[in-house]
Amino acid sequence: MEPTLADFVHTDFMKNPTDKKIAEKVLAAERITAEDALYLYTTAELGFLAMLANHIKHNKNGKNVYFIQNIHLEPTNVCVCNCRFCSYAKKKGTEGAWELSLDEIAEKIHQIDACVNEIHITGGTHPSATVSSYVDMVKTIRAINPHIHIKAFSAAELHYVFTKEDIPYQEGFRLLIAAGLGSIPGGGAEIFDETLRRKICPDKTSSVEWLRVHEASHQSGIFSNATMLYGHIETYEHRIDHMNRLRNLQDNTSGFNAFIPLKFKRQNNPMSNIKEGTLLEDLRNYAVARVFLDNFPHIKSYWPMLGKEAAQLSLSFGVDDIDGTINDSTKIYSMAGAEDTAPHMNVYEIKKLITAAGQNPVERYSDYSAVIVSA
């Protein structure tokens, strides 16, 4: 049997009083403070962090690590925003810009394998986007594939179309859900601190607006995810502030499924002068997130961005979800320098990756219920 956190807490191995205080909180399922989180980021040993994070991961999800058969759809990279970390967005009519018509989207949907359960729509905030263009997109997909879960449009895109047309968030969600929207992804959160937002994504939805859109989605009866872009100009305090705002909203709505830290990749964007963080830093970040976000059911490491080996390692630091099969359908990270330029893993490869880390692979639907494969 592997030694557990409870085995260690009352032994001489745990001499440091701050380690002991935090370990006792975690064992008692008590919430850690921002100060505790700062200590975990700056001072705690990596092995201790892993033990804390795994204790929580194990209590929530046992040895289960979830994955999904999914596909990304990126209808456009034309975007009204000028985010300095982005390697993907283009202005309309410039070289490298793309815009898919509804017919082109329909063609892509016809090609999706029957085993794919979720379509994740992500992309730029197109200047001509409207609530009805989003409704039409969702309806087009729904008409071809009545069962697939549609996870679509970041809070940044939704805020843009709702406010442009003066449609209250809840009414906007009512129209989109009636068309077939199933949930919203976690994009656009970046880092919530407004001073940093002005520097890295000056014309994007504010943090308050991002949180309000997600709150409205939860009140409208759909769930969502939350991301955090880290490893650029932010400090640990900024990360903790970001997670604290998410934790507070989750206390009120319980509508978030997964927290997804996104490591800044620097190729082909105006922030290329910033050195990318190390793998150890990524692992610490997953573990602190798992401990701090006690009310989030899942912590996801997004393998197309992190790489397969690093995603596998993250499973020892509190992560219980590695997203999906993807089938080479996303460009956001390859354009920013992710090593996998055509990300795809089949179910066999994903299961092998999870099993080799000593965990139990569970194929899931978007709501985290397990896919039962009949013999």
Please report, as residue ranges, which positions from 245 to 274 form the binding site for ligand V47 (by CB under 6 A). 260, 262, 264-265, 269
SS3 216: helix
Residues facing residue 90 across a β-bridge:
78
Work out how close the CB of 270 gets to ligand V47 at its nearest, in angstroms, rounded to a whole number: 10
Q: Give the relative orientation of helices 155-164 and 207-219 as an angle to the nearest 10 degrees.
A: 90
Work out how close the CB of 295 gets to ligand V47 at its nearest, in angstroms, rounded to a whole number: 17
Q: Tell me: does residue 303 bind ligand V47 (CB under 6 A).
A: no
Nearer to ligand V47, 52 or 332 (CB): 332
Q: Tell me: does residue 210 bind ligand V47 (CB under 6 A).
A: no
Q: Tell me: does residue 75 bind ligand V47 (CB under 6 A).
A: no
Nearer to ligand V47, 343 or 361 (CB): 343
Q: Tell me: does residue 336 bind ligand V47 (CB under 6 A).
A: yes
| End-to-end Cα, the chain, rounded Å | 32
Q: Tell me: does residue 87 bind ligand V47 (CB under 6 A).
A: yes
Choose among 281, 249, 279: nearest CA to 40: 281
In contact, 289 and 41? CB cutoff 8 Å? no
Distance CA 350, CA 363 (A): 10
Q: Tell me: does residue 343 bind ligand V47 (CB under 6 A).
A: no
Q: What is the DSSP letter of 76?
A: B
Strands (E), 232-327: 256-263, 298-299, 321-324
Please report, as residue ranges, which positions from 97 to 136 form the binding site for ligand V47 (by CB under 6 A). 122
Q: Tell me: does residue 285 bind ligand V47 (CB under 6 A).
A: no
Other Cβ atoms closer than 10 A to 15: 8
For ligand V47, the binding residue among 64, 76, 225, 314 (CB under 6 A) is: 225
Chain contacts with ligand V47 (rule: CB under 6 A): 85-87, 122, 154, 185-188, 190, 225, 227, 229, 260, 262, 264-265, 269, 302, 323, 332, 336
